[in-house]
Amino acid sequence: MDTLGQARVSVHIAIYGLTSRRIEQALLDLAQAGVRVSIKSDHVQSAGKAQRALLSRLRAAGIETIGGLATLGDDRLRQLLPGKVGGLLRHRARGVDPRRLDTQTQRVSISQEETFERDVADVEQLRAELRRMSVALAEHLVRSGETARTVTTKVRYPDFSIRSRSTSLPVGTDDPDRIAELACVLLDRALADRPGALRLVGVGLSGLEEHRQLTLV
């Protein structure tokens, strides 16, 4: 598949970091010079009003593919798009981007779940599973130097319906006993709303933040 020929304008707008007006004019200049510029409409509904207007104007100009942009020579490129814009567009069309790749991600939540082989109606067994998972999650927080402000208990019934209950603390915690206590309270709330056996229980922690050790002065 020709990746350049299948590129979406909405994607390139984000990559280029240019204003819609500059991109529109640049692509219209290319279209008038006979370069085919691809316009794909499968993301039009999620685009903003200005982007939809841009796509409509480009289609009206007969712009179809941007594959030709990557093959433009320096002289021709300067004639069509003088200044930095032309070089930037051609670099992106060729897959060249000098920016460093950011591989760091920020985790926003952690969780554990247990699916039982049979439906479990014994509340004490359910609570024991929540305590076990709470300890494991708290150990993870300690290793990563984080605390969590929100505890969520998830339950799934034999008919596969899922419910969850959450509570938030004013200050994050990594205390396994506190997390387990809250998880069990939330389980009781869920079962009060709908009693019955469960096929799955889980504990989730969110609102993660770096642990800060307080010192007295």
What's the domain count of the chain? 2
Out of 93, 127, 149, a domain closes at 93
Q: Is residue 217 part of a domain?
A: no
118 and 84: one domain? Answer: no
Is 78 a member of any domain? yes
Pair (133, 70) in one structural domain: no
Instruction: Residue 159: give its domain's CATH number.
Output: 3.30.1490.100
Domain that holds residue 84: 9-93
Of 64, 93, 122, which closes a domain?
93
| Residue 81 and residue 132 in one domain | no
pLDDT digits (tens, 9 = 90+) for 2-59: 433 333 333 333 333 344 455 555 665 665 565 555 544 444 444 456 556 544 544 5
Of residues 215 and 196, more confidently modeled: 196
pLDDT of residue 54: 41
Do 87 and 155 belong together in one domain? no
Last residue in a domain, options 60, 93, 126: 93
Whether 101 maps to a domain, the answer reads no
Q: Residue 47: its pLDDT value, please?
A: 47
Alpha-carbon gap, residue 78 to 70, rounded angstroms: 13
Give yes or no for a contact between 51 and 79, defined as CB atoms under 8 angstroms apart. Answer: no
Q: Considering the domain boundaries, does residue 167 fall inside one?
A: yes
Q: Per-residue pLDDT for 145 more than 50?
A: yes
Q: How far is CA 154 from the centre of its chain?
A: 22
Does 80 have pLDDT greater than 70? Answer: no
- Which of 50-54, 79-83, 108-112, 149-153 holds the top average pLDDT? 149-153
Q: Are 68 and 33 in contact (CB under 8 A)?
A: no
Q: What confidence tens digit (pLDDT) does each residue in 56-73 have?
A: 544 554 444 566 666 667
154 and 183 co-located in one domain: yes
- Quick check: is 216 in a domain? no
